[in-house]
């Protein structure tokens, strides 16, 4: 467990959940249906998590 930092997984979760919330609320404000807005939020959450994860992996090398 070389260079393990507890902040990185916590930051990944926080960024993913905040992204989902922001995208879902923004889509609902723009007039999307609730279910479609939730799906868009989930997709954005997955993309944000992958970006943060890849940046964390790159910084470990």
Q: What is the pLDDT of residues 41-60, one digit of tens each?
A: 999 999 999 999 998 887 76
Q: Is residue 2 part of a domain?
A: no
Q: Is residue 20 part of a domain?
A: yes
Q: Is residue 1 part of a domain?
A: no
Is residue 13 a contact partner of residue 46, using CB atoms and an 8 Å limit?
no
The pTM for the full model equals 0.83
pLDDT at 58 (0 to 100): 79
Token pair, residue 5, equals 């930092």
Of 46, 41, 4, 43, the residue nearest 23 (C-alpha):
41
User: CA gyration radius for the chain?
Assistant: 14
For residue 29, give its domain range.
7-60
d(CA 31, CA 54): 33
- Count: domains in the chain: 1
């Amino acid at each position: 467990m070389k260079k393990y930092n507890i902040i990185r997984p916590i930051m990944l979760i926080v960024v993913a959940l905040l992204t989902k919330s922001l995208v879902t609320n923004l889509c609902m404000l723009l007039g999307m249906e609730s279910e479609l807005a939730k799906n868009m939020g989930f997709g954005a959450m997955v993309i944000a998590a992958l970006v943060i994860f890849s940046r964390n992996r790159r910084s470990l090398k």
